C-alpha cells in the first residue's frame, strides 16, 4: 500500500449544506492517516459574477463537528477535537490571484475512520465551486494506539 494519498475534488460552497465525506472506514483500525497539506481555491478564478470568493474550510472526523451556529456557515471550533485542520482563502475580485490567508493542521491528529470536509463561502453566489486538495500520510498503529485514536475521533479527551 502507498504511504501517501491525495484527495482532491470540487464542491459547491454557498450556502454550506452539509459535510462532504472523503474517507470511508475500511475496517482496519491499525491503518490510519495524518493530514500533511490542506488547501482550497475557487474553480473559476476570473468570474466577475462570483462575488469576492472568500472561503473558509475545515476538516473533521465527524460531520457534526463542522456545523456552526448558523446552519449555512461552518465554524472553526479549535476546542473540538474532531476538527483537525483549517484553511481559508481571500480573493477580493476577479483580477487578483487568490492568496491563502490562513492554514493550520493539528499535528497530533490521527484519522482511523472517516474524514469530512466543510467549506463555506463568505460572499460568493450559489454557483461558486471550490477546489480542495488534501495530502495524507499513512500511520501504522498498534492495537492500544488504535483504541486511543478511535476515542479521540469522537471528541473524548484522553489526556
Q: What is the pTM of this model?
A: 0.84
Under DSSP, the state recorded for 51 is T
Task: Tell the residue number behind the cell numbers 476546542, with chain if given.
Answer: 79
Say what percent of the chain tops pLDDT 90: 23
On whether the CB atoms of residues 52 and 120 are closer than 8 A, the answer is no
Check if CATH label 2.60.120 holds for domain 4-153: yes
- The 10s digit of each residue's pLDDT in 20-39 is 899 767 788 888 999 999 99
Which phi and psi angles does 13 have, rounded to 5°? -120, -20
Task: Tell the residue number behind the cell numbers 472506514, with chain if given.
Answer: 25
User: What residue spans define the domains of the chain?
Assistant: 4-153
Q: How far is CA 120 from CA 49, 85, 124, in A?
A: 17, 15, 9
**Mean pLDDT throughout 100-107?**
84
- The 10s digit of each residue's pLDDT in 105-120 is 999 898 988 899 998 8
- The 10s digit of each residue's pLDDT in 129-153 is 788 999 999 999 898 888 888 887 7
Amino acid at each position: 500500500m502507498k504511504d501517501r494519498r491525495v484527495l482532491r475534488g470540487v464542491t459547491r460552497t454557498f450556502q454550506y449544506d452539509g459535510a462532504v465525506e472523503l474517507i470511508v472506514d475500511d475496517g482496519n483500525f491499525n491503518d490510519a492517516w495524518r493530514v500533511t497539506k490542506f488547501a482550497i481555491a475557487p474553480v473559476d478564478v476570473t468570474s466577475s459574477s462570483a462575488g469576492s470568493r472568500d472561503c473558509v474550510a475545515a476538516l473533521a472526523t465527524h460531520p457534526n463537528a463542522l456545523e456552526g451556529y448558523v446552519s449555512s456557515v461552518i465554524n472553526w471550533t479549535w476546542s473540538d477535537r474532531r476538527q483537525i485542520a483549517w484553511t481559508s482563502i481571500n480573493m477580493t475580485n476577479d483580477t487578483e490571484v487568490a492568496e491563502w490567508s490562513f492554514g493550520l493542521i493539528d499535528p497530533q491528529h490521527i484519522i482511523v475512520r472517516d474524514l469530512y470536509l466543510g467549506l463555506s463561502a463568505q460572499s460568493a453566489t450559489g454557483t461558486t465551486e471550490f477546489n480542495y486538495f488534501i495530502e495524507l500520510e499513512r500511520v501504522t498503529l498498534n492495537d492500544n494506539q488504535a483504541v486511543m485514536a478511535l476515542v479521540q475521533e469522537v471528541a473524548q479527551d484522553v489526556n
